[in-house]
Amino acid sequence: MHGLMMDSELLISTILRHADRNFGNQEIVSVTADNPLHRYTYQECFRRTRQLANALGKLGLMQGDRVATLAWNDYRHLEAYYAIGGSGYVCHTVNPRLFPEQVVFIINHAEDRWIFVDLLIVPLLEKIADQIPGVEGFVIMTDEKHMPETNLKNAVCYETLIGAESDAFDWPVFDERSASALCYTSGTTGDPKGVLYDHRSTILHAYAAVSPDVMNLSSIDCVLPVVPLFHVNAWGIPYAALMVGCKLVFPGPKMGDGETLYGLLEQENVSLALGVPTVWLALLQYADSAGKKLNKLQRTVIGGAAVPERMIRDFRDKHDVTVIQGWGMTEMSPLGTVSTPKFGMETLTPDEMIAVRAKAGRGIFGVEMRIVDDKGTEMPWDGVAYGSLQVRGPWICSDYFRLEGKSGSHTADGWFDTGDVAIIDEDGYMSITDRTKDVIKSGGEWISSIDIENTAMGHDAVAEAAVIGVAHPKWTERPLLIIIRAKGASLERDELLAWLEGKIAKWWIPDDVVFVDEIPHTATGKIKKIELRKQFADYELPS
């Protein structure tokens, strides 16, 4: 027997309608290429979004057609998100930091029909325009005054396009399982793979994101996503924040600029900011060198890579900011776990709490986790056993776009294999020890490169650390520690190795340390281990 509840489709346009009614005068502040500080209200945003939806309707697009964006975080990008997805098309966010050949692959693979492009990203598209023949036209996200000379075909100015349209638009109602957005993973090997979100998964994920145990969002919050709108929908913020009516602050192209971020956080009273560890390193370094304190920020969600304990301490001790570590993936919309405390933890000492926050966190409702060994046998949650991390739930991909049935990404019993290796403790808190491909195998045992990196980052003279396995005649592989020294610091190999003693297992102590000026990162801020392994392929460890 079915229940007697209304069958109302979970569509992202329902967020707009709710936010318009309830939070119409809430603010959205953006840095853009054509305006250092643009400011307007939700109501104006939604009016323009409806104008854009009318304009899109005249481009001859069919439901499910892909419309791409190559843009930084700002208000026009937000309007495009909702106008494209809300109309029944698929908003395909492309990461402009990828190699041009990857951008070409992604656009062609997705068969994008139109592209919305940020003023600053026009030159990238001009270089590859002849390799993306299926694209019918480009909308340049600026006003007439700032329109560049361009040879992109059918290039139209965003403001002119929407300016000609009515602001009356009835959001269509369709099946909530229709695709709403598309984002390709920036894998380090092979072609990028597309993750296709739907309206239902997006709304369910937003409900989870706002809940107290996850981001604890409400209309009194002011949120600054430093995580890009092209990286897993900025971790769902465009949907979650509007659902509850948060003020939004977008840093535009200034995402990596510590000074601009500091200014926005202070002037706009930002209570929650989100980003990967590397952007927070830039902000903390700026604050340190300028002798400034973060006075307004209350909490920050950090994920995308392991958060060094040192960073959690610095935020707490120097700025009185709580770090909430999160783990997730493009394939998971992205939220999987969050390191918020649970009952019984009120009595933990501040240092014990840091140890909790240094874990990737516990599974949120909607995400089931398990760790399995090589044979697929489930491992215990005892804080010791480690295994391949598998997940399932309503906002986790069932396959990759146009690779259905061919990707081999799921187990026979329907779990998604994350490619991460993890430990889960008795309280359900998970820690990532490595990517499967980055695991260091020494004498048949696994060494966690992430644990060594995080410990090394605790040394005052270390700015960044990376650990890779290097071939060893007796042990198969041994760890090599690669270090960027902190500005002006002096640190030598033996001093650092001696300092690590007692902090990690004796047999994990790296066999050698090399000091470098730069550690390569992927387009989404992760250490590029594959490149480091190539760079140090012939490295001879001291005997």
Catalytic residue IDs = 185, 331, 441, 446
**Is there binding between residue 329 and ligand AMP (CB under 6 A)?**
yes
The tokens for 397 are 């991909």
Cβ-based nearer residue to ligand AMP, 308 or 479: 308
Residue list 284-313, contact with ligand AMP (CB under 6 A): 303-306
Q: How far is CA 225 from CA 78, 250, 265, 276, 284, in A?
A: 12, 7, 11, 10, 16
Cβ-based nearer residue to ligand AMP, 90 or 305: 305
d(CA 151, CA 300) in angstroms, rounded, equals: 42
Task: Supply the minimum distance, in Å, between the C-beta of residue 12 and ligand AMP.
Answer: 21
Interface stretch with ligand AMP, choices 19-27, 37-45, 142-150, 413-421 (CB under 6 A): 413-421
d(CA 10, CA 201) in angstroms, rounded, equals: 9
Task: Supply the minimum distance, in Å, between the C-beta of residue 390 and ligand AMP.
Answer: 12
Residue list 118-157, contact with ligand AMP (CB under 6 A): none
Cβ neighbour number for residue 216 with a 10 Å cutoff: 16
Size of the site for ligand AMP (CB under 6 A): 19
Residue list 356-385, contact with ligand AMP (CB under 6 A): 360
Cβ-based nearer residue to ligand AMP, 267 or 398: 398
Burial of 385 (0-12, 13-18, 19+ CB in 10 A): middle
Cβ-based nearer residue to ligand AMP, 360 or 496: 360
CA 419 to chain centre: 17
d(CA 143, CA 146) in angstroms, rounded, equals: 6
d(CA 360, CA 346) in angstroms, rounded, equals: 19
Cβ-based nearer residue to ligand AMP, 59 or 403: 403
Task: Supply the minimum distance, in Å, between the C-beta of residue 146 and ligand AMP.
Answer: 32
Cβ neighbour number for residue 499 with a 10 Å cutoff: 17
**Is there binding between residue 435 and ligand AMP (CB under 6 A)?**
yes
Interface stretch with ligand AMP, choices 216-224, 236-244, 264-272, 328-336 (CB under 6 A): 328-336
Binding track, positions 216-245, relative to ligand AMP; x by CB under 6 A: ----------------x-------------
Cβ-based nearer residue to ligand AMP, 287 or 396: 396
The tokens for 500 are 């690590």
* Coil vs helix vs strand at 421: strand
For residue 471, the surrounding DSSP H or E stretch is strand 462-472
- Considering only residues 420, 451, 464, 477, which one is a binding residue for ligand AMP as defined by CB under 6 A? 420
Cβ-based nearer residue to ligand AMP, 381 or 416: 416
Is 479:468 a contact under the CB 8 Å cutoff?
Answer: yes
d(CA 122, CA 129) in angstroms, rounded, equals: 10
Task: Supply the minimum distance, in Å, between the C-beta of residue 456 and ligand AMP.
Answer: 16
- Considering only residues 524, 527, 532, 536, which one is a binding residue for ligand AMP as defined by CB under 6 A? 524
- 233-252 b/e with 16+ CB inside 10 Å = b? bbbbbbbbbbbbbbbbbbbb
Side-chain-side CA neighbours of 488 within 13 Å: the count stands at: 2
Is 178:199 a contact under the CB 8 Å cutoff?
Answer: yes
- Considering only residues 271, 418, 448, 455, which one is a binding residue for ligand AMP as defined by CB under 6 A? 418
Task: Supply the minimum distance, in Å, between the C-beta of residue 39 and ligand AMP.
Answer: 30
Interface stretch with ligand AMP, choices 174-182, 346-354, 416-424, 534-542 (CB under 6 A): 416-424
Q: At what angle do helices 75-86 and 13-23 cross, to 10 degrees?
A: 130
d(CA 312, CA 184) in angstroms, rounded, equals: 30
89 phi, psi to nearest 5 deg: -95, 180
The tokens for 287 are 């604050």
Is 339:303 a contact under the CB 8 Å cutoff?
Answer: no
Binding track, positions 181-200, relative to ligand AMP; x by CB under 6 A: ----xx--------------
- Considering only residues 54, 73, 300, 325, which one is a binding residue for ligand AMP as defined by CB under 6 A? 325
Cβ-based nearer residue to ligand AMP, 83 or 323: 323
When CB distances to ligand AMP are compared, the closest residue is 330
**Is there binding between residue 521 and ligand AMP (CB under 6 A)?**
no
In the complex, which residues of this chain contact ligand AMP (CB under 6 A)? 185-186, 232, 303-306, 325, 327, 329-330, 334, 360, 418-420, 432, 435, 524
